[in-house]
Amino acid sequence: MTELFQQDEQQRVSEEKAHSSAATRREPLAARMRPRTLEQVVGQEHVLGSGKLLHRAIQADRLGSIILYGPPGCGKTTLAEVIASVTKRRFERASGVLSNVAVLRDLLRTAEHRRVHGSEETILFIDEIHRFNKSQQDVLLPYVEQGSITLIGATTHNPFFFINSPLTSRSQIFQLEPLPETAVVTLLRRAIEADPELTKQSIHMDEDAAAHWAAVCEGDARRALNALEIAVLTTVPDKDGQIHLTRAVAEESIQKRAVVYDHDEDEHYDTISAFIKSVRGSDPNAAVYWLAKMLYAGEDPRFIARRLIILASEDIGNADPRALTVATAALTGVDFVGMPEARIVLAQATTYLATAPKSNASYLAVDEALKDVKEGRTLPVPKPLRDGGPVGRKQLGYTGYKYAHQYEGHFVDQDYAPTSKIYYQPTGQGYEETISKRINHWNEIRKRNRSETHHENKS
């Protein structure tokens, strides 16, 4: 078994060497420019800076299983390959999109055999690990726990939502950030100066061209390098044989800004959360920005309108009762006109709700009442309020109801529920100030009536 294993390994190494040269030529610029050492890695100073935990663990070759969480192009795969190189461990790759349980088991058993019989440690890098289902993730657990592999998972999704808790509890989670624009510019210049394919040509890149790529790519190094390569390949050299990369060339190589926005996944929920919190926080400028991001990324405008309707009641309520009318009308308008004009309808509703007075009193009232219904004793309906029909009311004793419109101010003091608990407590915001005064007036009438009744009973 061991001899057969060694033969397979020798054959694999031979095949890798035979294909490595041709493969390198076929690789895109972003792949060719992957750093080989920690010193070549640009950005992520918060985890890779000198003295930081991840940097120390890699240098000391004491790294355990980790999950790298961050947006596309921030260097997750690059960092995994650097770790494998620096630590001198065997590097195996799998994909959350392509690999199934059978492939995983084969990789894991081979890694375990290699560790036991060849004393060689294995790093198993799984790209898009969040796409593995529960059973696939569970297959990894015993091998991670026993140390048969060092798992490096890469994901653009929050691991605490998309990866099994037993796996996250056995792994260190490092969140990577989008690369700053200065780091992207550094990578672009490094590519022109160091890539074997690009150095064969005379290339001059204007500063504003590099700045445009860095800004538009929003921290995605892969996209910036791909744009550079497209620009070089499609730009005709001048009479001196030089390829001049101008701002216009840079803009042409990227037709549309890429907005990181995965529907029904992290960015979707994070962005709508920022939108709602901006409206709730009375910041119309921030709210309109997040609205624009969602619309630009292709979010369903009806989804946005529905969330505004919820917010109108949850966060504004009776402080401005018109907010619910505006939000509901916005949904109707969005359905009626569609995009792109629906953006105007949504912008009006968003700015109105963001600048409206805020109150969550109605929201708190119903939740408190629901809690009492769920946890407490169900209160009976007072007899005067029951409906037993014209005949049944009298026979069952359902009498004594006072019709409010027959009394002064269209208000009458009677028991509408067998509880004195106060659920709705309006604030002093907007129209709720008027509501508060009205409720206080009614309470004064109730207090006076109860005082008079008390004196009558006493006498």
Looking at the predicted structure, is the pLDDT value of residue 458 above 80?
A: no
Looking at the predicted structure, is the pLDDT value of residue 88 above 70?
A: yes
- What pLDDT, on a 0 to 100 scale, did the predictor assign at position 251? 87
- What pLDDT, on a 0 to 100 scale, did the predictor assign at position 284? 95
Dihedral angle sign, alpha carbons of residues 150, 156, 160, 164: negative
Instruction: Choose the CATH number for 33-175 among 3.30.479.30, 3.40.50.300, 3.40.50.150, 3.30.70.20.
Output: 3.40.50.300
- Omega of the bond prior to 301 within 30 degrees of 0, cis? no
Q: If you average pLDDT over residues 405-411, what whole number do you get?
A: 90
Q: By percentage, how much of the chain surpasses pLDDT 70?
A: 88
Please check whether the domain covering 266-355 is classified as CATH 3.90.1420.10: no
**Six-digit token string for 168:** 């996250």
Residues of the chain with CATH 1.10.8.60: 181-253
Looking at the predicted structure, is the pLDDT value of residue 360 above 80?
A: yes
- What pLDDT, on a 0 to 100 scale, did the predictor assign at position 244? 94
Higher pLDDT, 397 or 188: 188
Looking at the predicted structure, is the pLDDT value of residue 203 above 90?
A: yes
Looking at the predicted structure, is the pLDDT value of residue 16 above 60?
A: no
- What pLDDT, on a 0 to 100 scale, did the predictor assign at position 4? 46
Least confident of 109-118, 151-160, 171-180, 257-266: 257-266
**Six-digit token string for 293:** 């991001």
Looking at the predicted structure, is the pLDDT value of residue 380 above 70?
A: yes
Q: For the chain, what is the mean pLDDT?
A: 85
Distance CA 238, CA 104 (A): 52
Provide the whole-model pTM. 0.60
Distance CA 141, CA 168 (A): 10
Task: For residue 243, give the H/E element and its range.
Answer: strand 242-245
Looking at the predicted structure, is the pLDDT value of residue 25 above 60?
A: no
Higher pLDDT, 174 or 25: 174
Looking at the predicted structure, is the pLDDT value of residue 361 above 90?
A: yes
Task: For residue 252, give the H/E element and its range.
Answer: helix 247-253
Burial 326-360 (b: 16+ CB within 10 A, else e): bbebbbebbeeeeeeebbebbbebbbbbbebbbbb
Residues of the chain with CATH 1.20.272.10: 266-355
- What pLDDT, on a 0 to 100 scale, did the predictor assign at position 24? 46
Instruction: Choose the CATH number for 181-253 among 3.30.1360.20, 3.40.50.2300, 1.10.8.60, 1.10.1750.10.
Output: 1.10.8.60
Task: For residue 47, give the H/E element and its range.
Answer: helix 45-48
- What pLDDT, on a 0 to 100 scale, did the predictor assign at position 13? 47
366 falls in which pLDDT band (50, 70, 90)?
very high
- What pLDDT, on a 0 to 100 scale, did the predictor assign at position 22? 45
pLDDT in tens, 220-262: 899 999 999 999 999 999 988 999 999 999 988 886 555 666 6
